[in-house]
């Protein structure tokens, strides 16, 4: 049997409580007007929650580098799509009436 | 050198001959053959569509088929060729058969998933053929919106369902290969002792796994849109058709690297085997495969230069497209350097490999031309583009597939093919191919648009030349089909290692036993170590 | 060791190799799912960038209470799934089956609440395709937001539905004693899938429900 560290029950419950705290935080935070930072705050909290699930529930904590790479690869590749596509949309120039 | 008759020893072919044993097999070699039969069938169907198109284009006016029918022909030619031949052919046939053997494993990591990928392929094919028999689709293989979602009244939903399903076949194969190559290598088989065919398929599997899901979601949205009017890309509800193109090409550009990387892997094996040299710059070639896989994801906007995409984005995509050509060019240089001072033999597989290098260079260079914004805006959607990608897909990938099939034919079947017929057919294909597609570069430069069934009369001479070439090409494809099938039954028995190659698949009988090796191998030397094979040099001459 | 050797599938050499391969295989599959949902998230993001007002308005139409409840339910189900795996590793059959059943129940509860939300939208004439009618004065792109909401959450719900089915199958096999401390990969692998579905919702919830409620 492969040697991965099994998170103890205590660790799992603490992770869950951490998730609930972050959930409360993000809901409460949506009522505060932080202007242009709304999206960033929401995404950062979501990333934090996702990391807790991945590290503790999905056992990334005890896994080797290869698994970490696989876990991250999808998100990295998604960033290619997001960055270049949004790059197109935000740099569109209005087309003039022509000659 | 031992002579192993397929009738004498138990091997993966004769161990069981019932239909059930084939349809429920989990043996990667048998699954490779299931795929082989399937992809050849679909190549024939898509090729027939192309033949009809070329016949129509003999004359400037449309007179053979209705214009709507012509649209359906080029659509089905594209859809079937891309998803039911080009993408699966080398990985699912040759990759499935030989990756486990080349790494010294008994099978892939997930044999049942492997069989499932073939069944998923077949279900996807049934849906797509269903679209054909219910009237076909006329949207182009690119399914551009808003035509495909709002205006086309053809079988878009069935076709997109077929493409959605067959994508999972790619994903399953990719997952299997990635895990197999990471986890199932024999003792002593380090990453840098792997044959380059394995590296290419590994890089290709990364692309299949990361790109195909985007295809899946994109065609799902198209299908839902056509069926239920969801309207994500409908301008009247705020949608943007260009966003569809971004999603579509984010998959479809890496898809072309799915179509070429395994072919490059085959060429590395063939060039090395038939010049008796280790591949020059092994590590560089290996890393170039990975570079192509990664960079290939960042260039998709070069299909959208005239779509309305921002010129700044176009510039970035143009620059990145130049960059992605570099690792491909590096491979061409390395193959050429491998040939230098090698002991060259012009057997059939080598003819295909040499043809590949020349034709891939033309296709690749014209690709770099198309990556230039200023040039592309003139030739986009003309026959220049059509010629470019056929030089890669047909002139390169199909040639590599045929070269690989001949090279590994003795291992797969235990029989030799007739060498003279092989060489003759390779030359016919080379001549036919160039006569078909070179005139199309000129037609494109002169302004003939693609996907048109009629054209101005001044383009007729070149179109006639192209169709003449296509008929020669068709003969060239039918010949190997005939003599290879004949050889399965009547060919001379093949020895275990007819080409005297050092890689692991040749250190077993022809055909191999069910578990690939009599005993699990232990690897102590690098991939192309010909010094070990030197004493049997004479067998290859003549 | 001879006993464990007989448990290994014939194409693998050791139990460890088999376990490593299966785990890696599931992670690679999850990477494909990240991209599958990612395509939809990309469409969402592009439209959010160009129609920020419509996205704000659309977000306020959604039911925050039900959405928050569902998020808590799904996070809880990830905990119970992890506890089920923990029990499997220790060979506690009854505990494992208990937590698997709780996981499936929480997943079903989520689906029920989601169905309720969809029904509410239907009665408010905000379900695209079934008597859809935006309230007066709302820009037409709010309809685009609602379409995104339905497609994204429906795709997620479908994945969750499959997950519930798989967890129930696990519970049945687990009850019959199929899993041992040495061999329980299905529990681990399906657990990974379950947590992934949870992570998708972790992103969906703030991006759909919490855009601007100030």
A3-47: pLDDT as tens digits: 445 678 999 999 999 999 999 999 988 888 777 778 888 899 999
What CA–CA distance (Å, rounded) separates B274 from B404?
A: 12
Contacts of A80 in chain B (CB under 8 A): 250, 297-298
**A 45-74 → B contacts, CB under 8 A:** 66, 73-74
Q: Does residue C2 belong to any structural domain of this protein?
A: no
Q: What pLDDT score was predicted for residue A98?
A: 59
Handedness of CA B203, B208, B213, B214 (dihedral sign): positive
> CB of B442 within 8 A of CB of B520?
no
Report the gap between the CA of B381 and the closest CA in chain A (Å): 21
Q: What pLDDT score was predicted for residue C125?
A: 86
What CA–CA distance (Å, rounded) separates B536 from B523?
A: 20
**pLDDT digit string (tens) for C69-109?**
999 999 999 999 999 999 999 999 999 999 999 999 999 99
Q: Is A22 on the interface with C (CB under 8 A)?
A: no
| pLDDT at B281 exceeding the cut of 80 | yes
Report the gap between the CA of B480 and the closest CA in chain C (Å): 35
Categorize the per-residue pLDDT at B542 as very low, low, confident or very high, splitting at 50, 70 and 90: very low
Domains and CATH numbers, chain B: 22-493 (1.20.210.10)
Categorize the per-residue pLDDT at A99 as very low, low, confident or very high, splitting at 50, 70 and 90: low
Query: Which of the two residues, A20 and B150, has the higher pLDDT score?
Result: A20
Residue among A22, A27, A37, A56 with most chain C CBs within 10 A, to mutate: A27
What CA–CA distance (Å, rounded) separates C129 from C143?
A: 11
Smallest Cα–Cα separation from C85: which of C192, C212, C197, C161?
C192
3-state secondary structure of B495: strand
Nearest CA in chain C to B27: C11
Say which range, B397-401, B403-407, B440-444, B500-504, has the weakest mean pLDDT: B500-504
Q: Is A54 on the interface with C (CB under 8 A)?
A: yes
Does the distance separating the beta carbons of B224 and C151 come in below 8 Å?
yes
Domain coverage including residue C120: 29-209
What CA–CA distance (Å, rounded) separates B498 from B408?
A: 10
| pLDDT at B458 exceeding the cut of 90 | yes
Does the distance separating the beta carbons of C45 and A53 come in below 8 Å?
no
| pLDDT at B212 exceeding the cut of 60 | yes
Categorize the per-residue pLDDT at B2 as very low, low, confident or very high, splitting at 50, 70 and 90: very low
Smallest Cα–Cα separation from B216: which of B150, B262, B168?
B168
Following DSSP, what letter does each residue of B234-247 receive, concatenated?
-GGGT--HHHHHHH
**C34: CATH:** 1.20.120.80
Tokens coding C64: 């925050």
Query: Which of the two residues, B227 and B41, has the higher pLDDT score?
Result: B41
Q: What pLDDT score was predicted for residue B452?
A: 95
Does the distance separating the beta carbons of C39 and B228 come in below 8 Å?
no
Q: Does residue C103 belong to any structural domain of this protein?
A: yes
Q: Does residue C8 belong to any structural domain of this protein?
A: no
| pLDDT at B277 exceeding the cut of 80 | yes
Q: How many domains does chain C have?
A: 1
Average pLDDT, chain A: 87
Range B206-229 burial, b when 16+ CB lie within 10 A, else e? bbbbbbbbbbbbbbbbbbbbbeee
Nearest CA in chain C to B215: C36
Does the distance separating the beta carbons of C141 and B238 come in below 8 Å?
yes
> CB of B125 within 8 A of CB of B162?
yes
> CB of A12 within 8 A of CB of C79?
yes
> CB of B180 within 8 A of CB of B111?
no
> CB of C72 within 8 A of CB of C106?
no
pTM of this prediction?
0.94
Contacts of C39 in chain B (CB under 8 A): 213-214, 216-218, 247
Please tell me which of the candidates B108, B178, B213 has its beta carbon nearest to residue C35.
Answer: B213
Does the distance separating the beta carbons of A80 and B313 come in below 8 Å?
no
What CA–CA distance (Å, rounded) separates B486 from B409?
A: 12
Categorize the per-residue pLDDT at B534 as very low, low, confident or very high, splitting at 50, 70 and 90: low
Average pLDDT, chain B: 94
Peptide bond into B465 cis (omega under 30): no
Contacts of C140 in chain B (CB under 8 A): 236-238
Residue range B346-350: mean pLDDT, rounded:
97
Domain boundaries, chain A: 9-90
Enumerate residues 6+ apart whose C-beta is below 8 A from B436. Answer: B54, B390, B466, B467, B469, B470, B472, B473
Q: What pLDDT score was predicted for residue A6?
A: 64
> CB of B13 within 8 A of CB of B489?
no
Nearest CA in chain B to C44: B232
Q: What pLDDT score was predicted for residue C130?
A: 75
What CA–CA distance (Å, rounded) separates B425 from B483?
A: 10
| pLDDT at C2 exceeding the cut of 60 | no
**pLDDT digit string (tens) for C138-185?**
888 898 999 999 999 999 999 999 999 999 999 999 999 999 998 899
Categorize the per-residue pLDDT at C1 as very low, low, confident or very high, splitting at 50, 70 and 90: very low
Smallest Cα–Cα separation from B170: which of B277, B257, B248?
B257
Tokens coding C108: 């079903």
> CB of B115 within 8 A of CB of B25?
yes
What CA–CA distance (Å, rounded) separates B438 from B362?
A: 10
Report the gap between the CA of B39 and the closest CA in chain C (Å): 25
Residue among A71, A78, A85 with most chain B CBs within 10 A, to mutate: A85
Handedness of CA B279, B333, B257, C34 (dihedral sign): positive
Please tell me which of the candidates B182, B210, B310 has its beta carbon nearest to residue A88.
Answer: B310
Share of chain C above pLDDT 70, in %: 97
């Amino acid at each position: 049997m492969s040697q991965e560290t099994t998170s103890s029950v205590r660790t799992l419950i603490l992770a869950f409580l951490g998730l609930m705290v972050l959930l409360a935080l993000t809901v409460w935070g949506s009522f505060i007007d932080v202007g242009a930072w709304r999206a960033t705050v929401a995404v950062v909290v979501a990333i934090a929650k996702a990391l807790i699930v991945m590290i503790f529930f999905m056992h990334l904590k005890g896994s080797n580098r290869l698994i970490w790479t696989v876990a991250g690869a999808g998100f990295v590749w998604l960033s290619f799509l997001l960055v270049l596509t949004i790059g197109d949309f935000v740099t569109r120039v209005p087309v003039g009436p022509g000659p | 050198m031992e002579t192993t008759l397929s009738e004498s020893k138990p091997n993966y072919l004769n161990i069981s001959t019932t239909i059930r044993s084939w349809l429920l097999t989990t043996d990667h070699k048998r699954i490779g053959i299931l795929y082989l039969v399937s992809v050849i069938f679909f190549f024939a169907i898509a090729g027939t569509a192309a033949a009809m198109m070329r016949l129509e284009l003999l004359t400037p006016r449309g007179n053979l088929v209705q214009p709507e029918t012509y649209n359906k022909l080029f659509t089905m030619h594209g859809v079937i060729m891309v998803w039911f031949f080009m993408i699966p052919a080398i990985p699912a046939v040759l990759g499935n058969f030989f990756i486990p053997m080349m790494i010294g494993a008994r099978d892939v990591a997930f044999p049942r998933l492997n069989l499932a990928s073939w069944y998923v392929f077949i279900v996807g094919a049934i849906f797509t053929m269903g679209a054909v028999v219910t009237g076909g689709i006329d949207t182009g293989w690119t399914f551009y919106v808003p035509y495909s979602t709002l205006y086309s009244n053809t079988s878009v939903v069935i076709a997109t369902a077929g493409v959605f399903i067959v994508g999972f076949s790619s994903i399953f194969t990719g997952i299997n290969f990635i895990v197999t190559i990471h986890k199932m290598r024999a003792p002593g088989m380090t990453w840098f002792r792997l044959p380059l065919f394995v590296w290419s398929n590994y890089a290709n599997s990364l692309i299949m796994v990361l790109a195909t899901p985007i295809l899946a979601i994109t065609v799902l949205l198209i299908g839902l849109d056509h069926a239920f009017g969801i309207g994500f890309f409908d301008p009247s509800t705020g949608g943007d058709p260009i966003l569809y193109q971004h999603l579509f090409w984010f998959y479809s550009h890496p898809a072309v690297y799915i179509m070429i990387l395994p072919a490059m892997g085959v060429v590395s094996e063939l060039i090395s085997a038939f010049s008796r040299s280790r591949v020059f710059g092994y590590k560089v070639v290996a890393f170039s495969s990975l570079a192509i896989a990664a960079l290939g994801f960042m260039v998709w906007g070069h299909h959208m230069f005239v779509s309305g995409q921002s010129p700044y984005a176009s510039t970035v995509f143009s620059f990145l497209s130049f960059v992605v050509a570099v690792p491909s060019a590096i491979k061409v240089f390395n193959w050429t350097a491998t040939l230098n001072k090698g002991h060259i033999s012009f057997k059939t597989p080598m003819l295909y490999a040499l043809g590949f290098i020349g034709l891939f260079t033309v296709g690749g260079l014209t690709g770099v031309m198309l990556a230039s914004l200023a040039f592309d805006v003139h030739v986009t959607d003309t026959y220049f583009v059509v010629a470019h990608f056929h030089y890669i897909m047909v002139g390169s990938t199909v040639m590599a597939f045929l070269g690989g099939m001949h090279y590994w034919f003795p291992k797969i079947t235990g029989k030799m093919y007739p060498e003279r017929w092989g060489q003759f057919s390779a030359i016919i294909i080379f001549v036919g191919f160039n006569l078909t597609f070179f005139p199309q570069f000129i037609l494109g430069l002169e302004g003939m648009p693609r996907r048109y069934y009629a054209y101005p009369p001044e383009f007729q001479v070149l179109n006639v030349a192209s169709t003449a070439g296509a008929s020669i090409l068709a003969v060239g494809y039918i010949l190997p089909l005939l003599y290879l099938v004949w050889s399965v039954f009547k060919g001379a028995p093949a020895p275990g290692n007819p080409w005297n190659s050092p890689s692991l698949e040749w250190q077993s009988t022809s055909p191999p036993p069910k578990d690939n090796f009599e005993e699990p191998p232990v690897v102590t030397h690098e991939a192309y170590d010909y010094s070990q094979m030197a004493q049997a040099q004479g067998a290859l001459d003549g | 060791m001879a006993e464990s050797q007989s448990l290994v599938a014939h194409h693998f050499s050791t139990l460890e190799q088999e376990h490593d391969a299966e785990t890696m295989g599931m992670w690679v599959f999850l990477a494909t799912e990240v991209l599958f949902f990612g395509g939809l998230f990309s469409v969402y993001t592009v439209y959010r960038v160009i129609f920020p007002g419509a996205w704000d308005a659309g977000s306020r139409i959604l039911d925050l209470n039900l959405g928050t409840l569902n998020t808590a339910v799904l996070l809880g189900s990830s905990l119970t799934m992890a506890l089920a795996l923990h029990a499997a590793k220790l060979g506690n059959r009854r505990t494992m089956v208990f937590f698997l059943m709780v996981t499936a129940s929480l997943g079903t509860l989520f689906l029920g609440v989601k169905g309720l939300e969809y029904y509410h939208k239907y009665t408010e004439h905000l379900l695209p395709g079934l008597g859809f009618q935006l309230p007066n004065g709302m820009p037409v792109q709010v309809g685009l937001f609602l379409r995104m909401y339905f497609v994204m959450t429906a795709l997620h719900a479908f994945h969750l539905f499959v997950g519930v089915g798989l967890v129930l199958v696990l519970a049945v096999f687990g009850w019959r004693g199929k899993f041992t401390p040495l061999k329980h990969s299905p529990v681990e692998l399906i657990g990974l899938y379950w947590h992934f579905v949870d992570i998708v919702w972790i992103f969906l919830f703030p991006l759909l429900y919490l855009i601007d409620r100030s």
